[in-house]
Structure 1
């Protein structure tokens, strides 16, 4: 079994997995991961003993993606996480007595945290139970800053900070609290308060309230920027980034519908639209920077960037898997014809009763999208036991 430090500092190419937010739709990502796990397990020869943490050197997630990332890094199989997720969808998304999401959060925190504690226990960010690199994205709302909690023992804030003796070492932060922070979607769940320094508490909300609901570009920065301490070599032969979505919903409303919206509804639509913009900017930049065998069409003007390359040669090999939640995409790619009501239902992030349907949709999309050739054998992990 490969240890965290072997993943982070061992020789050879590095492999990263980025998991985006999406509430209950996170089960769509699990459907893609189910297929990836089965494919890599067969190649590894480990069979049912194989875990995605054996393959990926860094697993990062935002919001619901942080929950999946933490589970994978702890050594859960995808099948176990599907079961946990179905349980969480029904037990964790319990409404407050007087709810609606405007005056008070729509869902109670306690049932959600109870399920997290059952599965994660008292593990911290520095726990030896974490079998590979882990990154969790949250938004510190009281300072307006994005925080990425990661378990690099060479990171500035992992242990006592040399320049700030009052800072709380990130290695001691409970994973339950970090996942809660990353999933504290405004109007859905209350913010999470974490003591980040002696006598100082930070107030955190969902990482999706930042540019990094899709954390793929942030993971590339984590791997490459000097300050984060990984300093992994770049290049299509050296770095693989696999990004998994939870369903992409285009904005498709008439001018008349927007004209009739309340100010609050317009504010929500604007926020959702901005998150969508950030996701597509991620996608554009990563396809532009990479060798990408799974390109998505960005728009009708620039296409899928197949003829474009920023900075000369590719900086990484990039894979992207997702489901389009539009009538045109579902009919073209999966031969599915859905009603307006069915499309609207599947786009919801807070409907736990739809989890099984979303899982089926993800499985249908994963089958034609994922190919073993995407995961080039040059990225196969080295034998356990090698640390630089």
Structure 2
């Protein structure tokens, strides 16, 4: 036994010297990755450093950072680059690989490319300097007793120096590895991961973080909260059709919807604060995020700005309606000569509008926007050419009504309704880019701005042409190709057919997530500039049954399910334990649960009511980690509505919550011992008394 022990000892020392002495659970995780590598890649050698990052890829926005550096700032910035790479390379729980091997494997090529594209005078020398600095930073980080987060926090506080002035919104200056999501009042922008790492987590809201100071300029804040999307909950998307003054229809629908929710739960919950993660609109609305107060935006604003007011300005829906009416009256002001020359006003109006390329002066809408939002509120992230709110009227520049808007460095813009008057499909496309890890949306609410009844419209849209044109001048002129083309084009601008086309392309299982509130307008739709129609439009509202169905769906979307720990495998099944959580704070949460109890609503899992009323802890077993499990909110006479993220699979929950991250995660979250998560084979094993693929009651 002596020689064998000696050989084992020497082998262990060699691995320790090469920093390849793996511990549990690193070794089984690498073994699993090695098996996958051999079965898929072929002859390429297995690299344990690359395999250790399969759950935490290497995003690096170094090029964006280097491009915004001024003269004389590059040398000082190299230390920050090295610290950022070290912090990204060694998350909490990562195996201690050799620092130079980590850099050469993961970061050398991105750094080399960034230095070359940034036109650094000596990229080779700078690269070797960064390599040396990274090696030193990794050693210091390993030896720092306070942990990697505290070490990097101290590095940020002392390292920025002359770079404390905001330089760009295209890179997170906290980690240099992500694109920023939100901007603090000091104008420094950070990604969600940095807010999660350096913020103070709220006790009763696990995805809300208090930001006490800026990590760069050390400016102190009071009352700033950052809300992060729960990983197991889906998106809630609000879209608003275009329509000029008919935007009051969408606001009226929101007011009635808010009242319906208040009637159900017994407490008023402002829609703009609790129910939507992304709002996007055309002409009467615009795109914004409800993730931080105030909201974050990065594209030019749209016309009358319903979504901007609700989510960026945090106005109430009632206040938004009042301001909308005032803005509409100010925007669509008649030119002075209209009252001076009554007989020829229409002729002069057409001539003047043709010459000016617009029917209304843009001064009215720009003055109104500056009055409401101020001229200095940024609406998009462009490094050196910030777009102001009053300039961002560009997508409300409807042809004939307003002239197009030209923004330096961005281009010329006109009404977005010409392309997508119902922007729901744009919202569905946009959300995965905003939150790449998000799954299917939990709720999509489309607000219409009124639609004419289709009986007469269908006759006008597809007329029967006379076989003898010379004998029927009236119908022929009415059905000329120009008028038919015009009617077809106006039909394309109608948001209702676009909604029907969208639903028709969705699988049946997803359609219960999509809701639309709209009203039917007798006769023809009002012109987008006819402010005299506003009072009549405000009197109408969506059907009561549509309001109630949407209200229950929105209430159900406030809840989501999370596992408390990884599932435990035994006796041929996985035992799972988790909680139904609520997005609201503890005070509002208690009130809404009391209101639901009065409505006799209950949570239901896979068709079976959960015992204990509103006890949030849920225990269940599944045979297959990929079997679907559903949790719904069921109310008498209203049916069931899925909660956020439902239906789900246990395997998906584990991945989204990162419960099994043997090599750490980007947020440097400390976890207990990582159990080896086993995935059962697809076929049923001998002796298994159950069939695979179904959840146990």
TM range (shorter): 0.5 to 0.7
**Which string of whole-angstrom CA distances, capped at 9 and with x for unpartnered residues, describes residues 343-374 of structure 1?**
23x4322210110111112x3x3544301323
For the structure 1 residues 373 and 119, does the alpha-carbon distance in structure 2 shift closer, same or farther, using more than 3 Å as the test?
same
How many correspondences in the alignment?
Answer: 294
How big is the shift at 1:29? 0.8
Q: Does 1:260 align with 2:478?
A: yes
SS at match of 2:237: strand
**What displacement does 1:261 show?**
6.9
Deviation sequence 1:179-219 (CA, Å, 0-9, x none): x1111100011111112x3xxx5110000111x11010110
Deviation of the 1:176 alpha carbon:
2.9
User: What's 2:248 paired with?
Assistant: 27
The two structures have a TM-score, normalised by structure 2, of 0.38
Provide the secondary structure at the position in 2 that maps to 1:243: strand
- Is 1:99–2:300 an aligned residue pair? no
Residue 87 in 1 paired to residue 340 in 2?
A: no
Instruction: Give the drift of 1:9.
Output: 7.0
CA distance in 1, matches of 2:397, 2:526: 19
C-alpha contact 2:445 2:514 (8 A) present in aligned 1: yes
Q: Which residue of 2 aligns with 1:273?
A: 491
Determine the structure 1 residue equivalent to 2:403: 190
Q: Is the 8 A contact 1:41 1:51 kept in 2?
A: no
Q: 1:84 to 1:366 in 2, by over 3 A?
A: farther
2:285 match: secondary structure: helix
The aligned counterpart of 1:234 is 439
Change (3 A) 1:183 1:159: closer
Asked if the contact 1:15/1:239 (under 8 Å) is kept, the reply is: yes
Equivalent residue, structure 2, for 1:247 = 450
Structure 1 residue 241 displacement after superposition: 0.8
Distance (Å, rounded) in 2 between the aligned partners of 1:46 and 1:246: 28
Distance 1:258 1:11, change over 3 A: farther
1:289–1:316 Cα contact (<8 Å) kept: no
Q: Contact 1:234 / 1:316 at 8 angstroms: preserved in 2?
A: no
Distance 1:373 1:281 in 2: 25
> Is residue 2:500 matched to residue 1:283?
yes
1:71-125 per-position Cα deviation (integer Å, ceiling 9, x unaligned): 1112111111111122122221013344245443122211122222221223545
C-alpha spacing 1:59/1:108, structure 2 compared with 1 (3 Å): same
Aligned to 2:513: 317
Per-residue Cα deviation, 1:27-57 (whole angstroms, up to 9, x for no partner)? 111110111233445678764x835243211
Aligned residue in 1 for 2:528? 349
Mark the CA change 1:86 to 1:367 in structure 2 (over 3 Å): closer, same or farther.
Answer: farther
SS of 2:492's partner is helix
Look up the match of 1:122: 375
Q: Indicate conservation of the 8 Å contact 1:106/1:189, yes or no.
A: yes
Q: 1:71 aligns with which of 303, 309, 318?
A: 309
1:60 aligns with 280
Cross-structure match for 2:431:
223
Kindly indicate whether the alpha-carbon contact (under 8 Å) linking 2:327 and 2:365 is maintained by their aligned counterparts in 1: yes
- What are the equivalent positions in structure 2 for 1:136-215 lying under 5 Å apart? 158=381, 160=383, 172-178=386-392, 180-195=393-408, 197=409, 201-210=410-419, 212-215=420-423
1:284 deviates by 2.4
1:38 and 1:125 map into 2 onto residues whose CA distance is 33
> SS of 2:394's equivalent?
helix
Match of 1:136 in 2: none
Q: 1:94 and 1:20, CA in 2 relative to 1: closer, same or farther beyond 3 A? A: same
| Whole-angstrom CA distance in 2 between matches of 1:109 and 1:182 | 13
Q: How far apart are the structure 2 equivalents of 1:105 and 1:323?
A: 30
Q: 1:9 to 1:187 in 2, by over 3 A?
A: farther
* Structure 1 unmatched runs, 5+: 127-148, 150-157, 161-167, 291-308, 327-342
CA shift, 1:288, in A, is 4.0
- Within 1, Cα distance between the matches of 2:354 and 2:476? 20
| Distance in 2 (alpha carbons) for counterparts of 1:257 and 1:94 | 37
Q: What is the CA–CA distance in structure 2 between the aligned matches of 1:369 and 1:206, rounded to whole Å?
A: 30
SS of structure 1 residue aligned to 2:513:
strand
2:369, 2:389 within 8 Å by CA — same for their partners in 1? no
- Cα 1:192–1:159 change in 2 (3 A) is closer
Gaps of 5+ in 2: 1-204, 209-223, 287-304, 338-347, 465-473, 560-581, 587-666, 668-697
Q: Give the structure 2 partner of residue 109 of structure 1.
A: 362
Quote the residue 1:375 is aligned against. Answer: 554
In terms of Rg, which structure is larger?
Answer: 2
CA contact (8 A) 2:274 2:584 kept: no
> In 2, distance between residues paired with 1:368 and 1:374?
12
CA RMSD after TM alignment: 3.3
